[in-house]
Amino acid sequence: MEEYIPGILDNTSDDGGFDLQQEIARSAFADMCHDWERNQKYDQALRITIERLHEAGRQAHVLDIGTGSGLLSMMAVRAGADSVVACEAFRPMADCAERVIAANQMHEQIRLVKKRSTKLTVGPGLDMERRANVLVTELFDTELIGEGAIGTYRHALEHLLTEDVLTIPHRATVYAQVVECPLALSWQYLKTLSNADGDILLRVPPEVSACRGSSAVFDIQLSQLPPNSFNALTEAIPVLEFNWSKHHDLRTNHTAKSVCKARTSGFPQAVFMWWDLTMDTDANVVLSCAPYWAHPDYERLKLRTNGERRLPEGNLIPWRDHWMQAVYFLPPVKVPLQTGQEFVLQSYHDEYSLWFGMDEESTISVPHCSCGWHIAQSRSRIGQLNDSLRNKRYLNYFERVFSGDSVVLVLSEGSLLGLAAARMGVKQVLLYEPNAISRRCMEAFVEHNNVQNVQFISSADALEPEQAASVTHVFSEPHFPSAILPWDNLHYGDLLKNLRPLLPVTVAIIPASGTLYGIPVEFLDLQKINAPLGTCEGFDLSLMDRLIEQHSMYADSPVEAQPLWEYPAYALAGATRLMDIDFVTDFEEIKLERGEMSLSEPSRLNGIAIWIEWHLDGSLSPKTTISSGPLVPVEEASDEPVRWNVNWRQGVHLVRSFPNRKAVIPWTVKFNPTSSNVYFQFDYTDE
C-alpha cells in the first residue's frame, strides 16, 4: 500500500526545511543520470581526451565543476586521470557525492571540494594543487547558457585551467529553424474573441497585441508537436557557436547574422532552437538535442527500432527532459516570405539568454512583457483563452442561459469569457479580480472595447449585500493563476461557499459540478524523472537514490502537474470516474470515494494520469462539459498514444515501485473542502 502524505513537514531536517527538502528531491529525480546517451558520450570523450594526453607523454589533471553525484569524476578516474578535483556547492549533494565516491572506492583518487568553482584556490596545499589541463562539466540548460555557463567557464579559464586546457565538451553550436506555427503563436498572442456567428465580442488592445511577451525561456518537447501544426520555412541553421576552451570567444553579449533562404512560403512567426555539444577536439563524439526531424541519428535509429512496437516518431531519438528545445517568438511581420527568398536572421545572446529577430537594420533588445498578460498568466492559460472550440462551447451556453435581466458574478481571474458576457446583452457583470496585474489587464480590455456594464470586485468580501442580492448567475471557468494542478481551481467552490449566504436561493451556478477522472498508463519516457538510478554506467549510485527518496517523501506531492501531450503514454484501461464534486452541496464536509481500476497488462503500468472535467449545467453532456484531459474518449489497449489537450497540465502519479503489479488497483480519493485539496491513493503492488 502506498501511503501518501501531504507535502507539509511537521519537523524539518537540520539542513534547512521544506524548500531544501524539495531541492534535494528534485536534484536527481529528474532524467539527468538516466540520460544514457549523455553519460556514454561524456565517458567516451573522457577516455579519448585522457588517452591522447598520455600518448603525448603528458599527465591528465581533471577538474569537474558541479560534480553532483560524482559520476563524471568517477568516469575520469576510470579513464586513467592522474588527478581529479571535483567541486560541488550544494552541500547536501556534495555530502552525498562524498559517500557515493567512497562506496565506489574512489575516495583516494578524487579530491572533493564543497564550494563553488569561483571560490576554489590553486597552489600547493590549497583546493587544487595545480591548474587543471582537463575540464569536464555539465553546466547547461535548455537555453544552453541559462545556468551561467559563460561566466563559470570564463572564470575557470582565467583562474583554474592551463592555457592548453582540453574541455569536455569542447564546443557547443546553437541551431535555429524559422517556422510558421499558429499553435505556438496561440500560447503567445491573444486573439480577438468572437461568437459563433462571427460577431466580435472583444478586440485585443494594441499594447497587448504589440507586446513581445515573457523573456523566460519557452522550453518544449518539439518532437511531440503535431506534424501539421507548423510550417518549417528554413532548414536548421547553425547560428551561434561557443568554444568552451577559448576565453576571448565567450562573450557575454553577442549578435550574429545568418543569411537564410526560405524553402517554402509563409509568415515567419517563431524560431525553434536547440543545440549540440561537440565533446572532443576532433569531433568524434557529438551529442545532439535536435528534434527528430533534424536529428543527425534519426534515420539510423529508425532502422534500429524497425519491427518493435510502433512508437511515435518523436520517441525514436534519445529522450531527455533536462535539455529540451525552445521556442522564441519573432516580431510580427505583415508580408510573408516567398519560396527561395533570402533574408537575414539575427541571433542575440547576453550572459544568460538568447533571442532572435529579422530586422537587420536595427538591434532588437531582449523581450520583456509590457502589457501584463504574460506576467499574470501562463502560456498554457493564454492558449486556453485562444481555444476557439472551448470558447464556442462556453459562449453557446451563455446564449441559452443569459438574458437582458441577468447579473453575472464572475469568480475567475483573467476571464475574458466573463467579460464577453457583458457584450452579450446582460444587465451587469461583476468581475472578481483580486490580483492587481490581472485586474489592470482586464481594465485595458474594458477600456479598449468600451464595455459599460462591468464592475470590478477586488475580493469576495467587497461584494455589497445589495449587489449580491441582484446576482442571477455565478460563473467561473474556473481559473486561478495560483492553481498548478487542474483541480486546484476548485478554489472556486470555496469562494462560492463563502458568498452563498448573500446570494439568492435561485441563483444559477456555472459550472455546477466537476468530475475527476483517472487512467492507468504506460509512459514511454516520463517515468524516468522519478525512477531510481541504482547502477549507472557501472557505478553504484544507490546512496543518492536513498537520499533523494527520503527527501521526496516529504517534499514531493504524490501527484504532480505535467503537460502530458509532450509525454506519450498508452492507456492500459478505460477512463475511471473517481469523484463528482457539486459546487453547491459538496463544500460542507470531507468527501471520500473508493473504487478499482482493472488492467489488462499490469506489468506495463508506470503511471496514472488524472484530470478534471467541468460541467456547466451539472449534466455530463459533452455539449456543456469542458475537459482538461483527453481530446477523444480513451480506449484500452489502443496502438495510439492518448491525445491530450495541449492547453492544460494534467496530474500524474508516477509509480515508484515496479515488482508484483496488481491486475486490479484499488484507489481512494479524498476531497477536503476546507483547503480545496484532493488526495489520491493507489494500491498497485502486492508487496
Query: Does residue 28 contact residue 58 with C-beta atoms inside 8 Å?
Result: no
* Total Cβ atoms within 10 A of residue 597: 23
Residues 6+ positions from 479 with CB-CB distance below 8 Å = 381, 384, 412, 413, 414, 415, 489
Q: Could you please report the per-residue DSSP string of 612-645?
A: EEEESSSS--GGGEEESSBSS---TT-SS---B-
Residue 408, all three cell numbers: 453575472
- C-alpha–C-alpha distance, residues 175 and 275, integer Å: 6
Laid out side by side, the sheet with 591-598 consists of 591-598, 664-672, 677-682
Catalytic residue among 2, 129, 147, 537: 147
Pairing of strands 161-168, 132-137: parallel
Q: What are phi and psi of 165, to 5 degrees?
A: -60, 145
Amino acid at 371: C
DSSP state of 553: H
Residues whose CB falls within 8 Å of the CB of residue 350, separated by 6 or more in sequence, listed in order: 252, 253, 366
Query: CA-CA distances (angstroms) from residue 208 to 365, 372, 375, 451?
Result: 18, 8, 12, 17
Whether residue 138 lies in the annotated active site: yes
Output the nine-digit C-alpha cell for 187: 500560447
Torsion of CA 445, 448, 451, 454, to 10 degrees: 40
Distance CA 387, CA 380 (A): 10
Angle between helices 542-555 and 91-103 (to 10 degrees): 150
Nearest to 187 by CA among 383, 479, 376: 383
Going by C-alpha positions, the residue among 149, 211, 156 that lies closest to residue 174 is: 149
Cα 356 to Cα 256: distance, rounded to the nearest angstrom:
10
Asked about 147 being catalytic, the answer comes back as yes
Q: How far apart are the first and last CA of the chain?
A: 8
Contact indicator for 409, 471 with CB cutoff of 8 Å: yes
Give start and end residues of each alpha helix (H) in 537-666. Answer: 542-555
Q: Pick from 560, 546, 470, 549: which is nearest to 506 by CA?
A: 470
| Active-site pick, 88, 98, 138, 522 | 138
Q: Quick one: CA dihedral 37, 40, 44, 46, positive or negative?
A: positive
Q: Which element (helix H / strand E) includes 79?
A: none
- Alpha carbon distance 579, 591 (integer Å): 9
- As beta bridge partners, residue 134 has 62, 166
Q: What is the largest CA-CA distance in the chain?
A: 91
Q: Which residue has the cell 541559462?
A: 146
Cell of 106: 574512489
State the catalytic residues. Answer: 138, 147
